[in-house]
Structure 1
Amino acid sequence: MLPKSPKPAFWKFIKGSAKVIFIAEAVCFAASYGVYYRMNTNREFRHYINENFPFALDYYYKVGEVLGNSNLRQVDSAVWRAEGEKRE
């Protein structure tokens, strides 16, 4: 029978790190999909993103224009402009 040699600590570290990285990527993917879904279905949330993180909304519109030939940017700006005129 062959004698068993212990696994080096380096490989245990690599395996543990890979698991942590995989879980972190899964959590980040789920969070980003949740934000995308909410931006895709909720105009008020898009308005909040526009006020606080305009670069993120710009990327969202660009992806929509490339993938779906969307005119959502114009529709949102028209609705927000009309709501702004109502308030004044």
Structure 2
Amino acid sequence: MLEKKPSPSYKRWLGTTAKTIFVAEVVGFAFSYGIWYKLNTERDFRLYMHKNLNWVLEGYYRLGEVIADHKTRELDKKIWTQEGKI
């Protein structure tokens, strides 16, 4: 009969580390997708980001301008100025 031997500790450590990294990447991707979705669909959220986390909004605008030639930045500023929000 074959004897069962415990796996070496480095193999267990590598497996646990790989699972932890995978879970962290999935959580990070889900979070970033959620932020992008809200930025893409809600002008009020973009205004909140403009006032509080402007660097995130600038990255969103830049990505849209490079990939799809969007004019969201100009449209947002025009509407916010008309509404007296900025």
Q: Same fold (TM over 0.5)?
A: yes
CA apart distance, 1:11: 1.0
Aligned to 1:72: 72
**Alpha-carbon distance in structure 2 between the residues aligned to 1:32 and 1:46:** 15
Aligned residue for 1:83?
Answer: 83
Matches of 1:59 and 1:53 in 2, distance apart?
A: 11
Runs of 4+ in 1 over 4 A off after TM superposition: 1-4
Gaps of 5+ in 1: none
- The two structures have a TM-score, normalised by structure 1, of 0.89
| Aligned residue number for residue 12 of structure 2 | 12
How does 1:5-84 map onto structure 2 within 5 Å? 5-84=5-84
- Provide the identity percentage: 42
Task: Give unmatched runs, 5+ long, in structure 2.
Answer: none
- Cα-to-partner distance string for 1:31-60 (whole Å, 9 max, x where unaligned): 110110010000000000010000110000
- State the distance in 1 between where 2:6 and 2:30 align: 37
Q: Distance in 2 between matches of 1:28 and 1:4?
A: 38
